[in-house]
Amino acid sequence: MTYDPVLLANIDKKDSHTLPVYQSGGGYRGLRRALEDMSPADVVELVKQSGLRGRGGAGFPTGAKWSFLPKNHPGPVYFCVNADESEPGTFVNRVQMELDPHQVLEGTIISCYATGASTAYIYLRHEYPLARRRMQAAVGECYAAGLLGENILGGGFSLDVHIHVGAGAYVCGEETGLIESIEGRRAWPRIKPPYPAVEGLFRKPTVVNNVETLACVKQIVDRGADWFRSMGTPPDPNDPRDPGSFGPKLFGLSGHVNRPGCYEAPLGITVRRLIDEYGGGVWKGRRAKAAIVGGLSTGLVTEAEFDTPLDFSAPIRAGCLGLGTGGVIVLDETYSMIDFLHNSCRFFAHESCGQCTPCREGTQWALEMLERIRAGRGRLRDLDLLREIGETIGIMPGTTICGLADGAAWPIKTALGKFREEFEGYVKEPTTV
Ligand SMILES: Cc1cc2nc3c(=O)[nH]c(=O)nc-3n(C[C@H](O)[C@H](O)[C@H](O)COP(=O)(O)O)c2cc1C
Ligand code: SF4
């Protein structure tokens, strides 16, 4: 491990969450430089050049997303910081907000300057009380120091930041569900288009970005686009749609591993290196059976696929949804795939908001079948029915409004696709696993 963390560089300092400690390490110098020496368009261009892709799950290019805002809009433009972080296996945003809230805020202020947003909402999940207190205190410190409010640092730019505590559902993290929730309604995702950049919060142009994405923006303004592009995976020459995967990434490593935790590494580190070098290997001297690559919704790679690089493309080639949030969950050789899939189906059936029939019914059917299989009453044809559900629910097959249903489908598709024998064995002889 020769990589020196950047996003996590401050977290071991005493009182790392306070403004004086953050500033003693050079904090807010990047903001000052951006306000003094760069136009908003310069910041957008810099972020585009860096190749930054959103860290919230979909990997959408951040600079391109900002460019979708209508030009010369009379305003207001809103900015939403997605700190809902409810994907199972994902906890890196919590670490950032608890231990380095000013890095997140500096990235937010710079991003609002770039996009012309005058108000930012930090949508923070209810279950993160320490993160909430630290973010709120950091916002207070910024107002007192002239880093928020009217005429920030005398540069003519003004911004208000509000913390909005989430209502406690996974779907609140879906960007239009989040917007509905801030507006005071149930977090039912909206049909798109229109996309938030055109019609978002309070029907005004809106940007939604993840906490880690914004921390990356701060680092890009400090260190430059070339620094950011110096690490990661270049575009695949055989795939004209692959813009590459650049920069540092936070990985939440959990499950059956000796040292679970939040680790920073360049994009492209393999699943195996993350588990062995950062996580100290599989626990109890056991072998791994599989791992979730990037939060539950992305699905599984088998132990034989652990040399898969954790970038935005390789997990797709390994049969998964994508890199997702980078939440890697290790499953050891003793863990039952039936239990894994049962847990997964319980989660998604519980979290479906119910608007779309394929998601509302499909996640429930899948759960009922898993319950039946687990109780020893499964039929072989249930496995095919499960596959069928996995292949037909979701925004990608075009049957649902949001990606929650796709997230429910990938654990089903990968578990059944890669561990079919175990499922068949259990159906035929329920006590053997
Ligand atoms: C069901 C569901 C839950 C989501 N939860 C989150 C979340 O907690 N945090 C997040 O940043 N993105 C989440 N997303 C992705 C957001 O819709 C959105 O793509 C993201 O916030 C954009 O930020 P980025 O471009 O910086 O990645 C979720 C998506 C879906 C479909
Ligand atoms: S896919 Fe599921 S969670 Fe998303 S809007 Fe439809 S019912 Fe709700």
What whole-number distance in Å separates Cα of residue 347 and Cα of residue 410?
Answer: 13
Residue owning tokens 């202020």: 109
What is the average pLDDT value for the chain, to the nearest integer?
Answer: 97
Three-state SS string across 403-414, please?
CHHHHHHHHHHH
Query: For a substitution probing ligand 1, which of 78, 110, 112, 210 has the most ligand atoms within 8 Å of its CB?
Result: 210
Q: How far is the CA of 171 from the centre of ligand 2 (A)?
A: 8
Q: How confident is the model at residue 432 (pLDDT cuts 50, 70, 90)?
A: low
Cβ burial, residue 203 (10 Å; 0-12/13-18/19+): exposed
> Starting at the edge strand that comes first in sequence, how are the strands of the sheet with 160-165 ordered?
160-165, 119-124, 78-83, 206-210
Task: Please determine, for residue 433, whether its predicted confidence score (pLDDT) is greater than 60.
Answer: no
Task: Please determine, for residue 170, whether its predicted confidence score (pLDDT) is greater than 90.
Answer: yes
Q: How far is the CA of 399 from the centre of ligand 2 (A)?
A: 10
- Measuring from atom 8 of ligand 2, which residue has the nearest CA? 353
Q: What does the pLDDT read at residue 431?
A: 74
- Mean pLDDT of all residues in 117-126: 97
Give the tokens for residue 173.
């993290």
Residues touching ligand 1 (Cβ under 6 Å) are 54-58, 60, 82, 84-87, 170-171, 173-175, 208-210, 213, 402-404, 407
Query: For a substitution probing ligand 1, which of 68, 81, 175 has the most ligand atoms within 8 Å of its CB?
Result: 175
Q: How far is the CA of 58 from the centre of ligand 2 (A)?
A: 17
Q: What does the pLDDT read at residue 2?
A: 79
Helix (H) or strand (E) holding 332: strand 327-332
- Ligand 1 atom nearest 171 alpha carbon: 1
Domains of the chain: 19-231 (3.40.50.11540), 250-332 (3.10.20.600), 337-428 (1.20.1440.230)
Q: What does the pLDDT read at residue 280?
A: 98
- Mean pLDDT of all residues in 22-41: 97
- Mean pLDDT of all residues in 342-367: 98
Q: How far is the CA of 241 from the centre of ligand 1 (A)?
A: 21
**Ligand in closest contact with the CA of 217:** 1
Range in 22-31, 42-51, 424-433 with the lowest mean pLDDT: 424-433
- Measuring from atom 6 of ligand 2, which residue has the nearest CA? 356
Q: How far is the CA of 420 from the centre of ligand 1 (A)?
A: 31
- Ligand 2 atom nearest 174 alpha carbon: 4
Helix (H) or strand (E) holding 161: strand 160-165
Pocket flag, ligand 2, residue 245 (CB < 6 Å): no
What whole-number distance in Å separates Cα of residue 278 and Cα of residue 257?
Answer: 10
Q: How confident is the model at residue 168 (pLDDT cuts 50, 70, 90)?
A: confident
**Ligand in closest contact with the CA of 96:** 1
- Measuring from atom 13 of ligand 1, which residue has the nearest CA? 173
Pocket flag, ligand 2, residue 50 (CB < 6 Å): no
Give the tokens for residue 50.
């860096």
Q: What is the DSSP letter of 389?
A: H
CA proximity to 113, closest of 156, 80, 142: 156
Q: What does the pLDDT read at residue 1?
A: 61
Q: How confident is the model at residue 72 (pLDDT cuts 50, 70, 90)?
A: confident
**38 alpha-carbon distance from chain centroid:** 29
CA proximity to 179, closest of 198, 159, 153, 157: 198
What whole-number distance in Å separates Cα of residue 419 and Cα of residue 341?
Answer: 11
Using one digit for the tens of pLDDT, what is the confidence trace for 87-120?
A: 999 999 999 999 999 999 999 999 999 999 999 9
Give the tokens for residue 104.
């997140």
Pocket flag, ligand 2, residue 402 (CB < 6 Å): yes
Using one digit for the tens of pLDDT, what is the confidence trace for 378-401?
A: 999 999 999 999 999 999 889 999
Using one digit for the tens of pLDDT, what is the confidence trace for 403-431?
A: 999 999 999 999 999 999 999 999 999 87
What whole-number distance in Å separates Cα of residue 324 and Cα of residue 78?
Answer: 25
Region of 57 (left: φ > 0; alpha: ψ -120 to 50; beta: rest) is left
Q: How far is the CA of 62 from the centre of ligand 2 (A)?
A: 25
Q: Check: CB of residue 252 under 8 Å from CB of residue 87.
A: no
Question: What phi, psi does 428 have (nearest 5°)?
Answer: -70, -40
Using one digit for the tens of pLDDT, what is the confidence trace for 289-336?
A: 999 999 999 999 999 999 999 999 999 999 999 999 999 999 999 999
**Ligand in closest contact with the CA of 312:** 1
Task: Please determine, for residue 167, whether its predicted confidence score (pLDDT) is greater than 90.
Answer: no
* Cα→Cα distances 210→57, 122, 128, 215, 304, Å: 9, 10, 16, 9, 32
Q: Check: CB of residue 114 under 8 Å from CB of residue 43.
A: yes
Q: How far is the CA of 400 from the centre of ligand 2 (A)?
A: 6
